[in-house]
């Protein structure tokens, strides 16, 4: 990510100084700048805060199409497309790694590891909903007519589908919305499995000394999910 390097140098910082301001390891800064590491949403937020820019400013726009030009839907905005690919990859990863309830009940060690992973899943989901939600709302697009919206409501169209249709005039934006909602759905499934995993660790004698730490992690993950669900509901309510 050459933009990170450029913004860092504009401030007169070396990689170690940026790492200190962003609360990251210097090796992370080096890997991100040299394209050897794909930063998570949380890392991007830390970098953006340290550099006092928006997350979008960490990505060069190049010659992105102008908003609403005639062939926007065919070419798409590289920035939006990159985020769509990232969130679809994340959603698929979470979907494929989701264990069944019975598996969690039968394998307390797996349940224990799942709870730890779930905390990071919920934090990542919340950060992306907050960051990409702002990007989506701030990207120009043509709203559907009131008549169309009324017709869709009469047809019993779901709120999720209404939200997607709101951005149907721009393929790149519509795909980004679909990816964001799919990612949130995947995180919600993880939250549901977390309850089963928590019960499994409670019933396993080997984890009793760690139950307090487990409970704190479960509560942190639950708080991230509540925050994410609130953002998702707010995002859907604009449809």
Residues 155, 196, single domain; the answer is yes
Q: Is residue 187 part of a domain?
A: yes
Say if residue 44 is in the same domain as residue 79. no
Indicate whether 103 and 46 sit together in one domain.
Answer: no
Q: 121 vs 56, 94, 116, 143, 224, CA distance in Å?
A: 22, 8, 9, 32, 9
Q: Do 44 and 107 share a domain, yes or no?
A: no
Report how many domains make up the chain.
2
* pTM of the entire predicted model: 0.69
Task: Measure the CA–CA gap between 231 and 104, rounded to whole angstroms.
Answer: 29
What average pLDDT score do residues 89-116 get?
91
Q: Is 106 inside any structural domain?
A: yes
pLDDT for res 64: 37
- The answer to whether residue 147 is domain-embedded is yes
Question: What's the pLDDT score for residue 61?
Answer: 53
List the domain range (segments joined by +) for residue 54: 2-58
Quick check: is 65 in a domain? no
Evaluate whether 221 touches 118 at the Cβ level (below 8 Å).
Answer: yes
| The pLDDT of residue 209 | 54
CA angle 126, 46, 77 (to 5 degrees): 70
Over 50: is that where the pLDDT of 68 sits?
no
pLDDT over 60 at 69, yes or no: no
CATH number, domain with residue 13: 1.10.260.40
**Could you tell me if 146 and 203 lie in one domain?**
yes
> In terms of domains, do 6 and 95 share one?
no
pLDDT band (50, 70, 90) for residue 67: very low
Mean pLDDT (whole number) for 53-57:
78
């Amino acid at each position: 990510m050459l933009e990170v390097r450029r913004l860092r140098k504009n401030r007169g910082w070396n990689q170690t100084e940026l790492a200190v301001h962003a609360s990251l390891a210097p090796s992370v800064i080096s890997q991100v700048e040299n394209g050897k590491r794909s930063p998570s949403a949380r890392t991007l937020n830390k970098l953006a805060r340290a550099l006092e820019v928006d997350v979008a400013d960490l990505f060069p726009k190049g010659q992105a199409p102008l908003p609403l030009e005639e062939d926007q839907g065919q070419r798409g905005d590289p920035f939006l497309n990159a985020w769509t690919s990232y969130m679809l990859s994340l959603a698929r990863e979470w979907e494929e790694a989701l264990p069944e309830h019975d598996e969690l009940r039968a394998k307390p060690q797996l349940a224990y590891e799942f709870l730890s992973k779930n905390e990071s899943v919920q934090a990542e989901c919340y950060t992306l909903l907050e960051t990409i939600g702002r990007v989506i709302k701030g990207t120009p697009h043509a709203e559907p007519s009131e008549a169309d919206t009324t017709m869709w409501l009469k047809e019993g169209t779901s709120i999720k589908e209404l939200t997607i249709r709101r951005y149907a005039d721009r393929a790149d934006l519509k795909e980004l919305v679909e990816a964001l909602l799919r990612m949130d759905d995947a995180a919600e499934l993880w939250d549901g499995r977390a309850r089963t995993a928590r019960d499994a660790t409670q019933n396993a004698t080997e984890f009793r000394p760690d139950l307090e730490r487990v409970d704190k992690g479960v509560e942190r993950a639950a708080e991230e999910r509540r925050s994410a669900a609130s953002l998702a509901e707010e995002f859907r309510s604009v449809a």
